[in-house]
Amino acid sequence: MSQPVAKSIDIFLTLDQLVVEGYFNKHDPAPIYKRQLSHHFLEYIMTSVKSAKRHSVIFYKLKCKSELDKQYAEPVMYAVRSHFKEKLEERMYQFTKFKRRSWLVLAISISVVVIFHSILPFIINEENAVHTGLVNSLDIFSWVMLWHPIDELIFHWNPHLKDISLLRKLANSEVILLANNDKKVVTESKLIYQNDSGLIVNGAHRLSPDAEKIKEVRDRALL
């Protein structure tokens, strides 16, 4: 049986000083927001989003045990988003190379096939018994040359697009800061504070239409 499609995926991170140190390469002397992410931390993130589909929404949920832990939220998320933005640029460059190479190979293959079919009648007379055999051999050779680039262009686009979509979500997903009974949703341009007393909304930019949970909070705030 196929696994159910996850509508939203949560990536839980703890903003404790000792735990945060494990998110980064311990040999990197740079400030937190510029440090290289550790292999185990990246493996945890990629495992968390393994079930993500095209329309899945990803949230970073940061758990704070004290007010001091909140100081790590911005540098940690800056490092995480910067990493996935770089990976996104690399993946898009690879996708561009893939398309350019496939189209180039297809163009060269078509040119070679056209040249061979054009010069064959001038080399061998059609009444010659060898002509039929050469034509059949040339047809097989043409299909062999054209098959690979056509197969690449038709069937191998989706893995590239899937990776690009996932990396784009990881680089731009909303952040939810969890502290005791309060919850703060952090985007690049808007903050939403939620607690037992009600909702306070600041900012004027719209949130992502794909983020269903964020949309529900926004709609309730406008009532």
**φ and ψ of 205, to 5 deg:** -85, 150
Q: Cβ neighbours of residue 99 under 8 Å, at least 6 residues apart?
A: 153
Task: Specify the pairing of strand 182-186 against strand 191-195.
Answer: antiparallel
Task: Specify the pairing of strand 198-202 against strand 182-186.
Answer: unpaired
User: Per residue in 75-84, pLDDT tens?
Assistant: 999 999 999 9
**What pLDDT does 153 receive?**
85
Stated pTM of the model: 0.68
Mean pLDDT in the chain? 78
**φ and ψ of 204, to 5 deg:** -130, -5
**What pLDDT does 10 receive?**
93
User: For each of the chain's 223 residues, which pLDDT tens digit applies?
Assistant: 455 555 789 999 999 888 999 999 989 999 888 999 999 999 999 999 998 888 899 999 999 888 888 889 999 999 999 999 999 999 999 999 999 999 998 898 888 888 877 877 777 766 666 767 777 777 787 888 888 888 888 888 888 999 999 999 999 999 998 876 555 555 443 333 333 333 333 333 333 334 444 445 445 444 4
Task: Choose among 60, 53, 69: nearest CA to 214.
Answer: 60
Q: Domains of the chain: which residue ranges?
A: 8-87+167-222, 95-161
CA dihedral of residues 93, 99, 100, 102 (deg, nearest 10): 140
**What pLDDT does 186 receive?**
53
135, 137, 138, 189 from 119: Cα distances, Å: 12, 15, 12, 65
